[in-house]
Chains A and B, each alone.
Chain A
Amino acid sequence: MLLISCPNCGPRDETEFHYGGQAHVAYPENPDALTDRQWAEYLFYRDNTKGAFAERWVHSTGCRQWFNMLRDTVSYDIQAIYKMGEPRPDVNTSAATTPEGATK
């Protein structure tokens, strides 16, 4: 069980959350201009990262708000939690703060 630190509610069990897939997948500026292959890649193709992965989560049974998380897909270590719309933090420079209860 992961203990996820919701930016609004604090540390809660993983079962209160739902997963929203890879973060920072921008909607195409002009979808009409895309080929079918490009459109399919936007819709269905996602990274399968081994290591730090930026992903979206929603606190479904709590505040019902979305947020972003940087999580290690091997160790499940939660490296950072940040707001929707914010750029992916660079954890290697330890600029991102690890929220309370964010480690396993």
Chain B
Amino acid sequence: MAETATPANPETLRAARRSPASHLAPTFESGSVAGTVALKEIPFQTMVGIRVDRDSDAGARLASVTGGLPAACGEISGDERATTLWLGPEEFLVVAPESAHDSLGGDLVRALVEALGDDPGQVVDLSANRTTFELSGVRARDVLEKGCSLDLHPRAFRTGTALATEIGNIPAMLFKTGEDSFRIFPRASFADFLGRWLLDGMREYASPEVP
């Protein structure tokens, strides 16, 4: 069960939070190369883990809240309100803006918990489990390819697909949100390592290309 305490004042809560890569924000900014490749953290997104058989009644009820549950590896579903990623045949991750979280005035977690009801499965608030990195720019794919063995060529990895894989030897979700933009979801404890790893991969693009 996702028990979410609602504090009296959401602003107090907002001020008290610290995102897993907040200490790297200035480094991300100085390490980004304008027009080439940029890295930033999108902190505090609402994330909810779902485990359910998508062909069951509970699966259908949850799908009506999320705007569908993806059917196969790589697929996503949802709309601008929330995106649902496929993690496994019966495992999904809902990602939404922080304002969707119940503690900040939203109702996403409660709506999902209610949709599951007492049926087999689980709905867990995982908002603090992972953070979000956005890597964008014409060199974004080149940076990722230094440490990810998936075929990231646009013909194989299309915009609007998300895969669980390893980046820089750590497990992460990789979501292609646009032709040159990726969102990476590392677990909080890996955010520092992966952030620095990506910065290292970006460094060469700050210098003129050696012919």
Which A residues form the contact surface with B (CB < 8 A)? 8-10, 12-13, 15-16, 60-65
Contact = CB atoms under 8 A, between A and B. Distances in A.
B38 to A, nearest CB: 26
A12 B156 CA distance: 14
Given A63-B87, A65-B89, A8 B165 contact: no
A63 B164 contact: yes
Contacts of B150: 12
A65 B163 CA distance: 15
Interface of B: 72-73, 87-89, 91, 149-150, 163-166, 169, 171
Nearest to B172: A61
A14 B204 CA distance: 29
Contact of A63 (B89, B149, B171): B89
Contact of A9 (B149, B163, B169): B163
Name the 6 nearest CB pairs between A and B, nearest first.
A63-B88, A61-B171, A9-B73, A13-B149, A62-B164, A64-B88
A61 B166 contact: yes
9 contacts: A9-B73, A12-B149, A12-B165, A13-B166, A63-B87, A63-B88, A63-B91, A63-B164, A65-B89
Contact of A65 (B88, B149, B165): B88
Contacts of B163: 9, 62
Contact of B73 (A8, A13, A16, A60): A8
B89 A16 contact: no
Contacts of A60: 171
Given A62-B88, A63-B87, A63-B88, 4 more contacts: A9-B73, A9-B164, A15-B166, A61-B165
A48 B91 CA distance: 35
Contact of A8 (B88, B166, B171): B88
A32 B88 CA distance: 37
B54 to A, nearest CB: 13
A16 B165 CA distance: 7
A13 B149 CA distance: 7
Contacts of A10: 73
A9 B157 CA distance: 13
Contacts of B164: 9, 61-63
Contacts of B72: 8
Contacts of A9: 73, 163-164
A64 B90 CA distance: 10
Contacts of B166: 13, 15-16, 61
Contacts of B73: 8-10, 62-63
A104 to B, nearest CB: 15
A73 B73 CA distance: 29
A64 B72 CA distance: 14
Nearest to A62: B164
B123 to A, nearest CB: 18
